[in-house]
Amino acid sequence: MITLISSTNIELLKILAPLIAAILTVGLALFTFYKKGKLENEQKLDEQRLRGILKAHERCWSLIAYLTPTENGKSIIIWVKLQQNKKYYFLKNNYDLFIEELRVIMYDEGNGIYFSSESAKALYEIRSILFGLNLKLKSSNTTDVKMEIEKEELVATVWQLTEELRKNLRKDIKSERRK
């Protein structure tokens, strides 16, 4: 009868088996350690990204004070009711503050990278309309810082876009409207 495993091979297997098992154990441990570390890094990056998104949206929310139809000390557009009509006015000083704060939030602080395209679009459309009003005031060769807005539809558009911005900011951070 032919012996397939000789005593030398058995001795060799007794030595190699624990060595192979040790190598496989170390390899599996290193692989597991690598995967766990990679997962932890990805989780930390996700956490930092989510914190950035929340901070950016909180900072952008502060701009709404300039844009709201409810008049306050930061309002860029104010209105006065005269008998049956309303007259709307553009306030340059508050516009200048808004533009400066917008620049800081979006560019200096780098928050612009965190906004959805819908939120950014609404914000930039508002900025464009207000920029047009500011240009009109500048071209009037006056030192006034307050100008009547002749086209009421511009006011309505700014306020509609402001409401869209509010909704989009909430949607971006998955926050429902307060009830």
Residue 3 has pLDDT above 90, yes or no: no
Q: Cite the DSSP H helix spans in 63-172.
A: 64-67, 92-103, 117-139, 152-172
Q: What is the mean pLDDT of residues 12-18?
A: 77
The pLDDT > 70 percentage for the chain reads 94
pTM of the model: 0.73
* Mean confidence (pLDDT) of the chain: 87
In this structure, what token pair is assigned to residue 11? 């001795």
User: Does pLDDT of 72 surpass 80?
Assistant: yes
Q: What per-residue confidence (pLDDT) applies to 41? A: 78
DSSP string spanning 103-122?
A: HIIIIIS-GGGGS-HHHHHH
pLDDT of residue 176: 57
How far lies 25's CA from each of 11, 18, 28, 30, 34, in Å? 22, 10, 5, 9, 14
Is pLDDT at 82 greater than 70 in this prediction?
yes
Task: Tell me which range, 16-25, 42-51, 130-139, is most confidently predicted by mean pLDDT.
Answer: 130-139
- Check pLDDT > 70 for residue 8: yes
pLDDT score recorded for residue 5: 63
Per-domain residue ranges of the chain = 52-172
Band (pLDDT 50/70/90 cuts) for residue 17 is: confident
**Model pLDDT, residue 2:** 53
Residues of the chain above pLDDT 90, percent = 56
